[in-house]
Structure 1
């Protein structure tokens, strides 16, 4: 087998392993071989038989690595086309996964409206189903009904599905109210570098949850005599950390004060949902939340999560990089105001409609119409800040936008260890992206985009950024192994096609 093919196969295996959340040692154990052998395979330094490829495919899930039709999904993009018309923003991925975890708080039935049909949701549903929760899609698949059992069968948890989503961490808060001891596998998700779970543990420890980590597993034990005697100060103003603290506080019989809380969009949606369960929360939208918990929750709940501001930013970026006039409808403007202010400074020509409410009755939406604009680089660097600053997940889209602008733009993604590195993939499409360090890139525009064939980065937002750049690139590009995009976006290719893109989904035969 040629060295080039060995390297390409090795990279595919490495990306699939990371998607699975496994170390090289864990994959070696599943294959009955050593970590060093896996390392040689992933670096293209070892001949590999078809039998071994098949065994690796089975271990890592055929959706990621496989032989034949059921193998990885790819996208073929004919770029250089203008988009036009209007496109609706889907409901929030991050809100939906939090609400799926929160459904474990009540013994009643939960109905969630217009749930995002994405891989991240499917993985959590597999986990919920495996422990005895009944779920079914209703109203022609638009809505989701969730019915918990009287007792959860945690011993039967689908370990593979749980390892493939970091959202399983948010089971800690609800499960501590259902059982005294339980186990969770290590969380997976995007490859964004090392992210400690200690802030979660520090917050939940105040409610009596102690977690011990062994190889691949969190062992959780609840001491019900422990109760927070003073405000809980989160050491990280993280979204999932705040959500876990809220989930713990919701069933704590008393008043819990959470400080340095994230007021971001998915946290607000979770708060609105908890209020429907009867939990009173003061300070929604601020960094201090006062939660009046309930010892028991048994009511049915019907809730409609709001739209996704990160998807809205994706669609705005698609219009900008392709020089198109496009209307993005149902954009949650209160979580995009800083991004829009920066784009205005860069020279974006756009209109916004009057505000109206999302189906949850609380979140403010607008329709945004973007027109072709001559952009210039912003005066200051682009960097994320907790809400109401630029959203952490919106920062990568500014790399593609900056590449269309005149001048140099410094993008500082200080939150994640290596996500900025993936933005250098844009150079393969003609962009000038200089890596300053693992957190900072310098983007020089404007760009004469060119088509290319490349592997999908293993992190969601950079992967979509590459896809958007392909839309702007004259010629035909191929983006291989796009599972990570399907984790966070519902039918993105088809929806972009509906406004003028030309994207074909295919698999290797």
Structure 2
């Protein structure tokens, strides 16, 4: 009987391989070994060296095992210093990624101000560029301009970049209005039917989106004759599932009521952006959102995402505990 630790390692390797969308044969080719050897490793029926684990992790671009220091860690904090000066709060990463996905709703030009320059934003830009969306940094790299093509080339999608961000799942809401069928790589390693994905599927089925999952891809079919005929009650009060439902409702030609919605700041930011696109949203900041959709959106929009409340609170706390006088600019309105 295989040792428990080999079984656990094998499961980690299998999950990482499936997340990348590879077959056992493809992984075997990358490792210069046989498919049967990979099969034995994933079943926990073969001893595996640290060197082989490292090679597998490199091939799959995934840290299979994390080795860290298990002893005590000591931190020395030297405080008692007053702070002075002024600082700008950066824009919210969570708001920016939702707005990048929402730009797919618009046939016109979108400009987002002071976009967070982080890896998740870069990954989404790689995906957008690969399907034909033109993006460029303007105003000394502070702002982002987004111009969609007339037709999206989903066959050319950068699958590696897509699989490295969970936010790719929020492409489903906008794409169901632009395409009758398309394929999208798995989002951030989550398999269809898990807690983080199934609430999206339940909500988006109400807009005619049918999903099957095979070989690392969501295969989407859209039936435009299906539309919400009663309120959508989200099975999870999550930020991204609420945002996906909003994105689907934005171009639905009718009124959509979304209940058990997240009222978090990034959801509010998306609502304000949709209003800038001409979509009316009632109930912003509550758990019931009423979306008055418009079937076509073709406007030039200039929008400033909200500031990051976590960063703002960190700066406020730093001022308080050091009894300092700081000027913190662009503090989110809910803190005032």
TM range (shorter): 0.7 to 0.9
Q: In the aligned structure 2, how far is the partner of 1:168 from the partner of 1:25?
A: 15
In the alignment, which residue of structure 2 is the partner of 1:309? 309
1:81 aligns with 2:57: no
TM-score by length of 1: 0.53
Counterpart of 2:27 (choices 15, 26, 31) is 31
Aligned to 1:122: 122
Contact 1:331 1:365 (8 Å CA) reproduced: no
Cα distance change, pair 17–364 in 1 and its aligned pair in 2 (3 A): farther
Partners of 2:103 and 2:155 in 1: CA distance: 19
Matches within 5 A, 1:299-338: 299-315=299-315, 324-325=322-323, 327=326, 329-330=328-329
1:122 positional shift: 0.6
1:280 equivalenced with 2:276 (yes/no): no
User: What are the within-5 Å matches in structure 2 for residues 162-201 of structure 1?
Assistant: 162-188=162-188, 195-201=195-201
The 1:245–1:30 alpha-carbon spacing in structure 2 relative to 1, beyond 3 Å, is same
For 1:444, the equivalent position in structure 2 comes to none
CA pair 21-137 structure 1, distance change in 2 beyond 3 A: farther
* Structure 1 residue aligned with 2:33: none
Which runs of structure 2 are paired with 1:410-489 in the superposition (5 Å)? none
1:168 Cα offset (Å):
0.5
1:47 to 46, 49, 52: 49
Q: In the alignment, what sits opposite 2:296?
A: 296
Q: Give the structure 2 partner of residue 60 of structure 1.
A: 61
- Checking the alignment, whether the CA contact within 8 Å between 1:184 and 1:218 is kept in structure 2 is yes
**Structure 2 match to 1:493:** none
For residues 240 and 31 of structure 1, do their structure 2 counterparts lie closer, same or farther at Cα, with a shift above 3 Å needed? same
In structure 1, the partner of 2:209 is: 209
Question: Structure 1's 222 and 258: CA in aligned 2 closer, same or farther, altered over 3 A?
Answer: same
Question: Contact 1:89–1:331 at 8 Å: present in 2 too?
Answer: yes
Q: Is the 8 A contact 2:126 2:158 kept in 1?
A: yes
Native 8 Å contact 1:28 1:38 kept in 2: no
Hey, what's the Cα distance between the residues in 1 that align with 2:189 and 2:87?
A: 27
Q: CA deviation at 1:293?
A: 0.7
In structure 1, list runs of 5 or more residues that go unmatched.
1-6, 66-76, 333-357, 367-509
- CA deviation string 1:350-372 (max 9, x = no partner): xxxxxxxx6xxxx4454xxxxxx
Q: Within 5 Å, which residues of 2 pair with 1:381-396? A: none
**Larger % of strand: which?**
1
Contact kept, 8 Å, 2:207 with 2:248, in 1: the verdict is yes
Alpha-carbon contact 2:19-2:216 (below 8 Å) kept: no
Which whole-Å deviations, capped at 9, do the CAs of 1:350-404 have from their partners, x for residues lacking one? xxxxxxxx6xxxx4454xxxxxxxxxxxxxxxxxxxxxxxxxxxxxxxxxxxxxx
- Cα distance in 1 for partners of 2:300, 2:189 equals 30
**Alpha-carbon shift at residue 282 of structure 1 (Å):** 1.1
Structure 2 stretches lacking a partner, 5+ long:
29-36, 65-73
Counting matched residue pairs gives 304
Partner of residue 239, structure 2: 239
Would you say the 8 A contact 1:309–1:331 is kept in 2?
no
Structure-2 change in CA distance of 1:21 and 1:250 (3 Å): farther
CA-CA distance at 1:214 after TM superposition: 2.2
Secondary structure, counterpart of 2:177 in structure 1: coil
**Residue of structure 1 equivalent to 2:142:** 142
CA RMSD for the aligned pairs? 3.5
- Secondary structure of 1:34 counterpart: helix
CA distance in 2, matches of 1:23, 1:292: 37
Q: Does the 8 Å CA contact 1:21/1:187 hold for their aligned counterparts?
A: no
Alignment-derived partner of residue 342 in structure 1: none
Distance 1:115 1:151 in 2: 25
- 1:124-157 CA distances to partner (integer Å, 9 max, x unpaired)? 1111011011111111111101110110000111
